[in-house]
Amino acid sequence: MKFKRKLCKPCAEALKAAGTHTVVPVGDKVQKIDCFKCKRRRFGETYTVEKIK
Ligand SMILES: [Zn+2]
């Protein structure tokens, strides 16, 4: 299942590094977003996140 998630850079990198999900930027520009994971208002972008089976 694919999800669109707004993530800050550190969270996106952490999720990618964990190897449990694919994390692909949708191509938005980097802007101030409310990060889905850490709930902080930081610079980030929208990613398509998909769980790796
Ligand atoms: Zn975050």
pLDDT tens series, the chain, 53 aa? 999 999 999 999 999 999 999 999 999 899 999 999 999 999 999 999 999 98
Tokens of 8: 């800050």
Do the beta carbons of residue 2 and residue 32 sit within 8 Å? no
Count how many domains the chain has. 1
CA–centroid distance, residue 7 to ligand 1 (Å) = 5
Range of the domain at 40: 2-51
3-state secondary structure of 17: helix
- What is the pLDDT, as a whole number, of residue 21? 96
- What is the pLDDT, as a whole number, of residue 28? 87
CA–centroid distance, residue 51 to ligand 1 (Å) = 18
- What is the pLDDT, as a whole number, of residue 53? 83
Do the beta carbons of residue 42 and residue 8 sit within 8 Å? yes
Element (H, E) at 14: helix 9-18
Do the beta carbons of residue 47 and residue 26 sit within 8 Å? yes
Tokens of 22: 């694919």
- What is the pLDDT, as a whole number, of residue 7? 98
